[in-house]
Amino acid sequence: MQVVFNIPGPLREFTENRSSVRLEVKAGADLREALQVLFAACPGLRDRVLTESGEIRRHVNIFVANEDVRYTGGLATAVRGGAEISIVPAISGG
Amino acid sequence: MIGQTLDHYRIVAQLGEGGMGVVYRARDEVLNRDVALKLLAQGALEKVGRGHLLREAQTASSLSHPNICTIHQVGQTGDDFYVVMELIEGRSLSDLLTTTGLSMEIVTRYGVQIADALAHAHDRGIVHRDLKGSNVMVTAEGRVKVLDFGLATRMEREEISELTLSYDTLESKLVGTLPYMSPEVLRGHKADHLSDLWAFGVLLYEAAAGRLPFRGNTGFEVTSAILREPPPPLPPTVPHGLAAVIQRCLMKEPPERYQRASEVRAALEALQGAVLQSRHPSEETRGPRTLVLRGMEHLTVKNGDVLLLVGTNKGAFLLRSSRDRSKWDVAGPYFHGQGVYAMAYDGRNGRHRLWVSTNSLMWGTFLRSSDDFGRIWTNPLEASIRFPIESGAALKNIWQICLGRAEEPETLYCGVEPAALFESRDGGESWSLVRGLYDHPQRPRWMPSNGGLFLHTVVPDPGKRERMYVAVSAGGVYRTEDCGNTWQARNSGIRVVFMPEKYPEFGQCVHKIVLHESRPERLFLQNHWGLYRSDNCGDSWQDIARGVPSDFGFAMLMHPHDADCVFILPVESDEFRCTPEGRLRVYRTRNAGGSWESLERGLPQQGAYETVLRDAFSTDSLDPAGIYFGTRSGKLYASRDAGKGWKKILEGLPQIVCVKAAVIQMDGAPAARPHAKGKPAAKRKTPRMKSVRRGNRR
């Protein structure tokens, strides 16, 4: 199945400046597996989206089909074919 | 030839042999310098004619570019025709290649420089025609120099056939050329700038993959692959972006390639990601925009200049001055929006490398470097400093970048949050967690301070290789006597105010420790309340806070030339972390803590409620010493007479968290690349003072 990843501006230097990346992931994949496919295609993204211990960075929000995955099971959130997965920096700063 | 003299060049040694002739190291007896002298092979001369070769060499000698080997002279004595060139000490790119390929960082770092050299030459109508790994030298500083511009002879169709036919029996000096030849040149077309870009693509492929893209056992196989086969896929370790650049250089049809070397350079620079930017704003009609900083003016740094690295919680700034330290050029902000808590200048081993840690609230912390004073920064795909997965820890920030001892020029340390020490033994390419400290049984009982739980100070003993100190907030001072395998708390006599036990073995909130290399056994320490000295490598500490308005403070600085002289910047109290009485005063002891005196000439003495953080205090190595500090309110002060008088050299910066000063020592040519030509895409307003002029004019 195909999913579309929406990439925020600061990370597009790792996606050849593409704002979205469409990739084939295996049917029934969860968010963790889908992200692995993305990270394999665009290696710079992994360490910027996840910490080295494998968690989503605190000020990064990931949405699957407009739902914040913090409320839908985190990296275990199910991903359906055609879904849009959006990586979005949180509103925070100092 | 050795020992003979051509004109006023005495041949000293043979350096190598190439298709065009033999290269010697020679002594220029008039200018008293060493040069490279290429004595051209008679065969090459006969083939192309002396006049033609002379014209080519003369044209090439007009090129002046930091990444092109300079031709000093073209000469002829008797039958001998020779070219005198800049002597480059280094290794050729072919020598550096490994079977697994070079890292993305190295490939792009070298690639940008080669592309810049090509762009410069092409703009002047000069085509290389024989670009290959053996024609690219890399100096110890990591600077690329392209050799033999325009010196290659044009190959006629018959010669190419000959080369192809005899590939497997050819001398190595010619074999090097065939795998880099473009399809159109193999078909007999004249080599032009687009065939240079093809060769560049082959070079990049080879550097990234560790093998040539078009290979074969015979010349026919090689030419057939060049003409017909797509390049084999690059290893999966090669990032997609770099693979795309290489692929476009290796398009069989010249119109499908990049059309200019500057385009390849821009593509490689984008991969390096010097600054975050969106190259196609049209693609994004509503989304956020990042400013294009490509046009930012950078510093031009000369030998003997003083460089200030200023890290703030919203980016980094670089300042440059000549030795008199009266006027400062300013460049920045670099990494705008990101916290830069640690910076360092590494001038060991002929390098001119800036190190910086960038901390993005969203995207994490990365260690980055620049070899050209900030024009190009690495942006590693993967974080080089990372906790082992089984530790469950995740890097929050890098608080300190510390160079190893001078005799260990490849060693670097980083102190990080959560409190841990990382070490690199290969010049910062790879890093490992110092387990002896991380696995210390006391570590779980260290307590976070206001800023978190972090290791902020690393002090290698300058005299004893096995000994090193670190300071942790709040864990205290730890010392190793065995290169980091085991560590002991060394806090005897240092008071804590936030625990019932006033003199515990560990848990002190130490803010800074310093020592002078001439007296490595004596340490000075600024505590969270308390000023201390140890005369026995930290085994015990004595209070030395006599005559200071407050013994609370963060920053502490050792005089570079006087082991008895230490500077501090007192802060009123734990609760009111500002200068006492609204007076900004540096305090100095000149008798190792026996007494303290205020240094305030030129500093505001009314309503100046400032804070100077622990790493925002630095000194250069000149005499009299320059002393610099930055405030949380974004003001930068400097003294060029070891603290007697002060001057505000910059204001309006974000909160300053780090100031590091360095005196730049260069051998030979200036190491900074000329700045980008053309109109800057977006000029950044840089805060200025009357004594400050904008960076980079010449």
Q: Which among A11, A17, A49 has the least Cβ separation from residue B279?
A: A17
Interface test with A, best of B237, B362, B431 (most A CBs within 10 A): B362
Phi and psi torsions of B503, nearest 5°: -130, 65
pTM over 0.80: no
Residue in B664, B672, B669 with CA at minimum distance from that of residue B88: B669
Q: CB pairs below 8 Å between A and B: how many? A: 95
Helix (H) or strand (E) holding B183: helix B183-186
Chain B neighbors of A92, CB-CB under 8 A: 361-362
**Predicted local distance difference test score (pLDDT) of residue B167:** 57
In chain A, the residue whose alpha carbon lies closest to the alpha carbon of B243 is A16
Residues 6 or more apart whose CB falls under 8 angstroms from that of B169 comprise none
Contact B283 A19 (CB under 8 A): yes
Chain A neighbors of B382, CB-CB under 8 A: 43-44, 46-47
Say which residue the tokens 């050792």 belong to. Answer: B558
Contact A51 B271 (CB under 8 A): no
Task: With respect to residue A78, please indicate whether it lies within any of the assigned structural domains.
Answer: yes
Contact A19 B284 (CB under 8 A): yes
Compute the distance between CA of residue B247 and CA of residue B249 in angstroms, rounded to an integer. Answer: 5
**Predicted local distance difference test score (pLDDT) of residue B5:** 87
In chain B, the largest separation of any two C-alpha atoms, in whole Å, equals 92
* Total domains, chain A: 1
Chain B neighbors of A42, CB-CB under 8 A: 239-240
**Predicted local distance difference test score (pLDDT) of residue B287:** 30
Regions of chain B short of the pLDDT cut 70: 18-20, 43-50, 52-53, 150-176, 273-296, 668-698
Chain B neighbors of A57, CB-CB under 8 A: 362-364
Compute the distance between CA of residue A18 and CA of residue A7 in angstroms, rounded to an integer. Answer: 7
Interface test with B, best of A17, A22, A42, A86 (most B CBs within 10 A): A17
Shortest distance between the Cα of B274 and any Cα of chain A, in A, equals 10
In chain B, the residue whose alpha carbon lies closest to the alpha carbon of A54 is B389
Compute the distance between CA of residue B650 and CA of residue B381 in angstroms, rounded to an integer. Answer: 34
Task: With respect to residue A55, please indicate whether it lies within any of the assigned structural domains.
Answer: yes
Q: Is the separation of the CB atoms in B267 and B245 below 8 Å? A: yes
pLDDT in tens, B117-172: 999 999 888 888 889 998 899 887 778 999 888 666 555 555 556 655 555 554 44
Contact A51 B364 (CB under 8 A): yes
pLDDT in tens, A61-89: 999 998 999 999 999 999 999 999 999 99
CATH number at residue A52: 3.10.20.30
Contact B271 A13 (CB under 8 A): yes
**Predicted local distance difference test score (pLDDT) of residue B115:** 96
Structure-token pair, residue B121: 């030459």
Task: With respect to residue A38, please indicate whether it lies within any of the assigned structural domains.
Answer: yes
CA dihedral for B561, B564, B565, B568, sign (positive or negative): positive
B452 has a chain A CB within 8 A of its CB: no
Q: Structural domains in chain B?
A: 5-86 (3.30.200.20), 90-272 (1.10.510.10)
pLDDT in tens, B94-129: 888 877 788 887 898 899 999 999 999 998 888 888
Interface test with B, best of A5, A15, A48 (most B CBs within 10 A): A48
Shortest distance between the Cα of A91 and any Cα of chain B, in A, equals 10
Contact A43 B382 (CB under 8 A): yes
Chain A neighbors of B241, CB-CB under 8 A: 13-14, 16
**Predicted local distance difference test score (pLDDT) of residue B394:** 95
B526 has a chain A CB within 8 A of its CB: no
**Predicted local distance difference test score (pLDDT) of residue B648:** 95
Task: With respect to residue A8, please indicate whether it lies within any of the assigned structural domains.
Answer: yes
CB atoms within 10 A of CB B280: 10
B240 has a chain A CB within 8 A of its CB: yes
Q: Is the separation of the CB atoms in A64 and A72 below 8 Å? A: yes
The range of the structural domain enclosing residue A73 comes to 2-89
Chain A neighbors of B287, CB-CB under 8 A: 8-9, 19
pLDDT in tens, A10-39: 898 888 888 999 999 999 999 999 999 999
Compute the distance between CA of residue B666 and CA of residue B350 in angstroms, rounded to an integer. Answer: 8
Task: With respect to residue A63, please indicate whether it lies within any of the assigned structural domains.
Answer: yes
**Predicted local distance difference test score (pLDDT) of residue B687:** 34
Its ipTM equals: 0.90
Chain B neighbors of A43, CB-CB under 8 A: 239-240, 381-382
Structure-token pair, residue A82: 């055609």
Task: With respect to residue A94, please indicate whether it lies within any of the assigned structural domains.
Answer: no
Shortest distance between the Cα of A14 and any Cα of chain B, in A, equals 7
**Predicted local distance difference test score (pLDDT) of residue B26:** 92
Chain B neighbors of A6, CB-CB under 8 A: none
**Predicted local distance difference test score (pLDDT) of residue B286:** 31
B30 has a chain A CB within 8 A of its CB: no
Residue in B225, B200, B215, B230 with CA at minimum distance from that of residue B168: B215
CA B353 to chain CA mean position, Å:
3
In chain B, the residue whose alpha carbon lies closest to the alpha carbon of A42 is B240
In chain B, the residue whose alpha carbon lies closest to the alpha carbon of A41 is B240
Q: Which among B271, B289, B389 has the least Cβ separation from residue A52?
A: B389
B363 has a chain A CB within 8 A of its CB: yes
